[in-house]
Structure 1
Amino acid sequence: MSGAWTEEPDAEPDPRRWWGLWTIALAQLMVVLDGTIVNIALPSAQRDLGMSDGDRQWVITAYALAFGGLLLLGGRISDLVGRRRTFVIGLIGFAAASAFGGAATTPAMLFGARALQGVFAAVLAPSALSLLTTTFTDPRERGRAFGIYGTLSASGAAIGFIVGGLLTEYLTWRWCLYVNVPVAVLGVVGALTLLHDRHARAGTRLDVPGVLLGCGGLVAIVAGFGEAEPRGWTDPLVPALFAAGTALLAVFVWWQTKAAVPLLPLRVLKDRTRLGCYLTMALAVIGMFGMFLFMTYYLQTVLGYSPVRTGLAFLPMTASILTGSTQISARLIHRVPPRALMVPGMLLAATGMLFLTRMTVHSEYATDILPALVLMGLGMGLTFMPVFSTSTAGVAPEDSGVASAMLNTSQQVGGSIGTALLNTVATSSGSAYVAARLGEAHRPADLTAQGTVHGYTVAISCAAAIMLLASLSAGLLVTARPPRPYAATDAPDAPVPESVG
């Protein structure tokens, strides 16, 4: 269906809904932040626990694998048993897993704790987004609420670098995990006192074959990208995981047309605008996560920044995301079509990426890095807020959890793809650059650093191209009109359109 979507608000909006928003946003920030907070702490943890170079990547991959692979299951569980209940369970479980990881004495304990964090994040994240969707139904309020939520989701990775650097430099790497415990306690208290659930479907059967097929396929795909980085793309295990994941997902789609109570009702994906939002999110995150990875290593290993200084270098981008989300997108979302924000947002982000391709071993932060980060921040702020708001609008209440999970799945799978794919591009390009100049009579003394930076710029060029694809997908697929407030003249029993496009 094409046209504007409307939502009928409750007769009496919850007076505590804005306090509840901060509880939801705090939980989302914790989940997103934990995808990167351990990155800067990883060298210290590796030395402390005696991890091998081959195994250290599992500190990152174990979290992404469990999180990305189980999101659909977490979203459907939140629909079936109640969103506030799963929100609280997710917070408690995440805190326990974080405490377990902070106390780890062996690499296996840390890997297991990170996997458990991913499991509970897969329950927590879709519950948080669906609670936000059902709490804010007026389009103007929804715009402001999703602006805040989108800002935290988009900037959480950068904030993770800042917090990780501070905790590692002034305390120990273990506090990168322990810090989740007090945050989760605050979230539980806020959830029990400020949030309530309007829709629950306790007692409905879960689609067990769909769980096994869908989650198994996603786990295989995410694992394939995780293994591609240390093993290489030609290792037999990598294509085998991709083939298995693709086959499982194909069977999963077929099964969803037959299941009485499907894990992922295909009606959620049949909407053109919603599908465009999912695709735009995945492509944007592929480019964004690759940029975070390269810029972190560039600032520390090439420019010699400390962990804290590296984290602080991302602050302007975080401020730009906040500006783009809350001061631009949130003010315009009810006046212009969502793609009128998403398309220029991705073009701005791509421009910032292209600006970074000019960096060298001797680049200056203020003139060569800062402008690019500001452009990317504004672009992501313009894009992510309408993506979050539009992709969850008009969804039947019983599907809001799984629709939210699909958006989070797009983020996690996109992040895994971006990290593995672009890191492989950077490594191979950098190695080729160095090899081509080893025989030169007057090769530069900093050839290795030059090769590293060359690899980064090639990979960032690829990331910019992916951002342009995100802009194209938003322009072609996201056809929704601006949301309009529910009018008194609307028939009270008129059905809310399923489609947002």
Structure 2
Amino acid sequence: MEIRTAEPLGGTRRWWTLPVVSAAQLLVVLDGTIVNIALPSAQQALGMSDGSRHWAITAYALAFGGLLLVGGRISGALGHRRAFALGLTGFAAASALGGMAEVPGTLFAARALQGVFAALLAPAGLALLAETFTEGRERGRAFGVFAAVGAAGSAVGLIAGGLLTEYASWRWCLYINIPVALLALLGTVFVPRSLPVRGGRLDLTTALLGTGGFTGVVYGCAEAESRGWGSPVVLGLLAGGVVLLVAFVLAQRRLLWHRERGGAFLAITLMFLGMFGFFLFMTYYTQTVLGYSPVRAGLTLIVNALAALAGSTFIAGRLHGRVRPALLIQGGLLAAAAGMFVLTRLTPDSTDILPLYLVPAMVLTGLGLGCVLPPTAMLATAGAAPADLGAASATYHAGQQLGAALGTALLNTLGISAGALTACLGVLLLAALLHLFVNLEGRPA
């Protein structure tokens, strides 16, 4: 069966793809955290109950992560540029709806719609980048910039959420997406056209296995906070989700069991698990223990965002093609683990906490995340057939979302404690060891 991909790429026009896709990546990642700091204000304004407020965050995570695999298939069927434009349009409309919400249900529905369109936008964007930049060093540069935006996006979301909530309104945490989405949409005019592809291996049944599995695990983690981990409902959701995810992996073994690609999926999932535990710890610790305002707590994370940018551009980007991607990934995981280790040394008697503990931890975790994202993003799509680009891109983003959900659940369960930090440290060390093992197991055929 014939596979049709992008139109021929030439001149400087294709470089428009990079800022356009990076802007969309910022939207997707930023919206995973920007509402967190605004949530208390939104809860008070809309009269949310304590038991339902988590849906302002969970609705986005569930829809986004749960539909990514379906979104990857749709992106291939429509053509990645067309799917990308549709995702941007829908995301902007959903953001407007959420900003105008007068009751909790409207906000929850808008957040779910944001997730739906993000699930189309994210795999389409990464697929556009992968098929546009295929040669050596320019590929490394493009993925370095893309990953830098993604690496800094979560911290930027917390910073922006604090500033907008303090000096404007919680509603602007949603409205801010609209001009960014519209600018990116205008930029798609200059992105080379990507034609629909046929012959992909990911059928709808397989996509639904992944969707159901992801939804079961993430929803189970969300419900554990109120029901407890021993609840039959929680255990049933988690068990069902794991079974479906295993079935998905078996069905997609030709895509996922590629040594380097599978290692990239594993590394990014566990990296996000550890990092989202870190972000949640920093948010709670700085506000509840150190007494920082939401704005100051958010601004503190600038150090982490800058370190992530430096890791993506000045380390991973410049070393592309000079060292093996696996070395960058393992080095980044170990750097992030070192940052987590610094935090485990905190005690009630610790002094000079910001310069001696928080800043070193933010620098190390930021550099680590920045070193992991570019090579994993490249390996996730490297060697994939054109028809499989959407599926590979979607699986990569789904791994990020699954890790983020598990990291959040881990910290919510263990609380702001040394035990939670030790668990995150263990996850990052495990990720480094597993990735090393996978890369020692031989070469792909």
Instruction: Give the TM-score normalised by the residue count of structure 1.
Output: 0.83
Q: Which whole-Å CA distance do the structure 1 matches of 2:54 and 2:156 have between them?
A: 21
Following TM superposition, by how much is the alpha carbon of 1:143 offset from its aligned partner in structure 2, in angstroms?
0.7
Q: CA deviation at 1:393?
A: 1.0
Which AA in structure 2 matches 1:134?
A: E
- Name the structure 2 match of 1:417: 406
**AA at the equivalent of 2:425:** A
Q: Tell me, what secondary structure is at the counterpart of 1:304? A: coil
Q: 2:210 touches 2:245 (CA, 8 Å); kept in 1?
A: yes
Q: 1:472 aligns with which of 421, 424, 433?
A: 433
Q: One-letter code of the match for 2:75?
A: S
**Number of the residue aligned with 2:341:** 354
Identity of aligned residues (%): 53
Q: Deviations over 1:180-235 (max 9, x none)?
A: 111110010001x2212344227999834334433222211211111112221012
Partner residue of 1:275? 262
Q: In terms of mean alpha carbon deviation, does 206-215 or 47-56 score higher? A: 206-215
In structure 1, give the amino acid aligned to 2:102: T
Are positions 1:111 and 2:108 aligned together? yes
Is the contact between residue 64 and residue 118 of structure 1 (CA under 8 Å) also seen in structure 2?
yes
Q: Does residue 370 of the first structure (1) align with residue 359 of the second (2)?
A: yes
One-letter amino acid of the counterpart of residue 356, structure 1: L
Shift of 1:470: 1.4
Is contact 1:337–1:479 with CA below 8 Å preserved after alignment?
no
* Structure 1 partner of 2:94: 97
Q: Which residue of 1 aligns with 2:47?
A: 50
**Secondary structure class of the residue paired with 2:230:** coil
CA-to-aligned-CA distance 1:49-91 (integer Å, 9 cap, x gap) = 1111111111111111111111000011111110001100100
The equivalent residue for 2:378 is 389
Structure 2 equivalent of residue 434 of structure 1: none
Return the match for 1:407 from 396, 400, 424. Answer: 396
Structure with the higher fraction of residues in helix conformation:
2
2:235 is the counterpart of 1:246:
no
Instruction: Give the structure-2-normalised TM-score.
Output: 0.93
- Provide, for residues 88-122 of structure 1, a one-character-per-residue CA deviation record: whole Å limited to 9, x for no partner: 01001111111111111111111111111111100
Which residue of structure 2 lines up, in the alignment, with residue 35 of structure 1? Answer: 32
With 470-479 and 140-149 compared, the bigger mean Cα shift is at 470-479
Equivalent residue, structure 2, for 1:305 = 292
TM-fit CA distance, 1:473:
2.2
State the alpha-carbon separation in 2 of the partners of residues 139 and 479 from structure 1: 24
Q: Retained in 1: the 8 A contact 2:92–2:181? A: yes
> Which residue number in structure 2 is paired with residue 445 of structure 1?
none
Aligned to 1:121: 118
In 2 relative to 1, CA 238–475 (structure 1 residues): closer, same or farther, beyond 3 Å?
same
The whole-number CA distance in structure 2 between the counterparts of 1:106 and 1:388 is: 39
**Are residues 203 and 247 of structure 1, via their aligned partners in 2, closer, same or farther at CA, if it must alter by over 3 Å?**
closer
1:195, 1:380 → 2: CA distance? 28
Q: Where do 5+ consecutive residues of structure 1 fail to align?
A: 1-8, 257-264, 427-454, 482-498
Once superposed, what is the RMSD of the aligned Cα atoms? 2.2
| Counterpart-to-counterpart distance in 2, 1:206 and 1:372 | 40
Higher Rg of the two aligned structures: 1
Residue 230 of structure 2 aligns with which residue? Answer: 234
Aligned length: 438
Distance 1:397 1:33 in 2: 29
Match for residue 147 of structure 2 among 142, 147, 150: 150
Give how far 1:457 is off: 2.4
C-alpha change, 1:479 and 1:200, in structure 2 (3 Å) is farther
Preserved contact between residue 17 and residue 128 of structure 2 (Cα < 8 Å): no
Matched residues in 2 for 1:476 and 1:250: separation? 20
1:202-213 map, 5 Å = 207-213=203-209
1:214 to 210, 216, 221: 210
- Which letter maps to 2:423? C
Moved more, 22-31 or 303-312: 303-312
Whole-angstrom CA distance in 2 between matches of 1:203 and 1:398: 6
- Indicate the residue corresponding to 1:64 in structure 2: 61
- For residues 88 and 339 of structure 1, the distance between their equivalents in structure 2, rounded to whole angstroms, comes to 33
Q: Unaligned stretches of 5+ in structure 2?
A: 1-5
